[in-house]
């Protein structure tokens, strides 16, 4: 169906939802409000101290999305739940991008990120939700695996009203403003914290012994959002100030080391809170226990890397982790950071170096200088100031970083490696569609910008070789 003019735009629904989610999480986890205030202060100080960065944020439109930008994370237990979330996020203009095998870090899930995919939608609101599906086959105890499956089969994580509104959006091509507000209210119930478990304390402990994340996914009425993440311009400053605000930060910032030109994604978090949970026993009075899963995360986003850039990043990160383990038999923070910084000296740390080496994606635009259409190619035009090349922001996630954050907030902060068990086919079968390739999206954005520059009237004819430049 084609959306009619009376429908609310998906990005507007996305903003309603992300704003409501932030309010809900702030009420549930008061430390999140502290985190938001910290990030706002760091961003303001960073912009004031770096006028060139501030100017670029304004000129590229990044500043408008900075304050509202955040991502969430949720974990579901069944293919039907994942399919339902895919339909729910589609109402908000969010699609599944990328496949992440977190089993490589000992976390029994595989994941995708639901997010908007084109430049205009990202500028309106870049809200993302990192969504993980539990892999029951990774529970070695067959009886426990069957028990977990039986528990999950009895729950429905979506309200009837939410499902009805998803159906309506799919049939009519969208939702009216009134229906959109109802949809947001109903959808929030899927992400809300429930302080009552659906299992006994004994069952919870058995599942937690298999893996803390299994207990988190299986033992509750719904999946509950486990963190929301604002974007900072200086994650090192934010990390340093967390303790001053009464937040216990994890020891290591996940991702690449601090650089002049940030690449991909860096993440840190305050550790998860132990929250009271009521367990209903088959006989006797309810038992009050505790559960530790929800936390607060901060991220700093850099430039998106090409496949060549990502291969170099992965190699240097793997070498850093291997050398750290060889040097000190485990992750010691100071040793790891020293080795990481030394290894990443091999990664070019200037925009020009990244661009010319084909390691990162850039967006091209016509500037003020005049060009000679008879003789100048793209590189000459950039050198003369006729064309600018701005880094394209990385909109996705890093498997090792995501797993590191998950693991540290579920009861461990080591750097242990595990065997890979990727199964994209099974994940896509559960999802009901193929996941989109992030490299394809970034390459398309770069190429679209080149075409736009090439077809600018005063530069037509000057780009005989532009589209061949990568």
Give tens-digit pLDDT for 130-173: 999 999 888 888 998 999 999 999 999 999 999 999 999 999 99
CA distance 437 to 35: 32
pLDDT digits (tens, 9 = 90+) for 251-284: 778 889 999 999 999 988 877 778 888 988 777 7
Give residue 406's pLDDT: 44
Over residues 49-70, the mean pLDDT reads 84
Q: What is the model's pLDDT at position 369? A: 54
The model's confidence at residue 372, banded by pLDDT at 50, 70 and 90, is: low
Q: What is the mean pLDDT of residues 355-375?
A: 78
> Which among 98, 101, 123 has a CA at the least distance from the CA of 113?
98
pLDDT reported for residue 375: 52
The CA distance from 207 to 138, in Å, is 12
Residues 6+ apart with CB under 8 A from 223: 74, 75, 76, 77, 81, 157, 190, 191, 217
Give percent of the chain with pLDDT exceeding 90: 49
370-374, long-range: CB within 8 Å, 24+ apart, which pairs?
370/458, 371/458, 371/459, 371/462, 372/462, 373/459, 373/460, 373/461, 373/462, 374/461, 374/462
Exposure of 263 in the CB half-sphere (CA atoms within 13 A): 24
Q: CA 288 to CA 469: how far, in whole Å?
A: 63
Output 232 or 106, whichever has higher pLDDT. 232
Q: Which residue has the higher pLDDT, 378 or 172?
A: 172
Confidence of residue 468 (pLDDT cuts 50, 70, 90): very low
Model pLDDT for residues 405-459, shown as the tens digit of each residue? 444 444 444 444 444 577 899 999 999 999 999 999 999 999 999 888 877 755 5
Tell me, what's the pLDDT at 376? 65
- Considering the domain delimited by 10-235+413-431, tell me its CATH architecture: Roll (3.10)
* Residue indicated by tokens 């304390």: 201
Q: What is the pTM of this model?
A: 0.88
As a whole number of angstroms, the distance between CA 183 and CA 188 comes to: 8
Residue range(s) occupied by CATH 3.10.180.80 in the chain = 10-235+413-431
**Residue 456 phi/psi, 5° resolution?**
-65, 125
What's residue 326's pLDDT? 58
């Amino acid at each position: 169906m084609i959306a009619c003019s009376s429908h609310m735009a998906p990005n507007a629904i996305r903003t309603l939802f992300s704003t409501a989610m932030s309010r809900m999480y702030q009420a549930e986890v008061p430390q999140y409000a502290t985190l938001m205030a910290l990030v706002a202060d760091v961003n303001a100080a960073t912009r004031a101290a770096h006028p060139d960065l501030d100017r670029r944020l304004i000129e590229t439109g990044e500043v408008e999305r900075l304050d509202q930008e955040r991502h969430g994370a949720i974990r579901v237990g069944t293919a039907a739940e994942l399919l339902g979330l895919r339909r729910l996020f589609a109402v908000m203009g969010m699609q599944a991008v990328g496949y992440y095998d977190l089993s490589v870090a000992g976390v029994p899930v595989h994941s995708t990120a639901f997010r908007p995919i084109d430049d205009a939608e990202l500028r309106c609101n870049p809200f993302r939700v990192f969504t993980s599906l539990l892999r029951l086959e990774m529970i070695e105890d067959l009886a426990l695996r069957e028990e977990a499956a039986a528990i999950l089969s009895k729950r429905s994580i979506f309200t009837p009203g939410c499902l009805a509104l998803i159906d309506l959006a799919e049939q009519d091509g969208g939702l009216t403003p009134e229906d959109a507000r109802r949809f947001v209210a109903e959808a929030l119930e899927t992400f809300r914290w429930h302080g009552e478990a659906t299992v006994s304390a004994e069952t919870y402990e058995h599942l937690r012994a298999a893996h803390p994340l299994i207990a988190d996914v299986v033992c509750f009425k719904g999946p509950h959002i486990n963190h929301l993440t604002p974007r900072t311009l200086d994650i090192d400053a934010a990390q340093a100030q967390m303790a001053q605000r009464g937040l216990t930060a994890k020891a290591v910032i996940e991702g690449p080391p601090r650089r002049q030109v940030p690449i991909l994604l860096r993440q840190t978090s305050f550790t998860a809170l132990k929250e009271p949970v009521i367990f209903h026993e088959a006989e006797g009075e309810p038992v009050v226990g505790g559960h530790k899963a929800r936390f607060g995360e901060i991220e700093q986003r850099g430039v998106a890397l090409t496949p060549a850039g990502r291969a170099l990043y992965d190699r240097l990160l793997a070498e850093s982790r291997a050398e750290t383990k060889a040097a000190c038999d485990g992750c010691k923070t100071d040793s790891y950071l020293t080795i990481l910084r030394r290894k990443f000296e091999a990664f070019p740390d200037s925009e020009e170096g990244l661009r010319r080496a084909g390691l990162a994606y850039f967006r091209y635009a016509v500037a003020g200088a005049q060009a000679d259409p008879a003789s100048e190619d793209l590189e000459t035009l950039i050198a003369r100031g006729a064309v600018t090349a701005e880094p394209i922001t990385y909109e996705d996630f890093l498997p090792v970083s995501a797993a590191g954050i998950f693991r540290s907030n579920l009861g461990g902060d080591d750097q242990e490696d595990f065997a890979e068990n990727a199964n994209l086919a099974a994940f896509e079968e559960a999802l009901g569609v193929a996941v989109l390739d992030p490299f394809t999206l970034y390459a398309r954005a770069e190429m679209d910008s080149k075409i736009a520059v090439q077809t600018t009237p005063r530069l037509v004819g000057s780009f005989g070789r532009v589209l061949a430049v990568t």
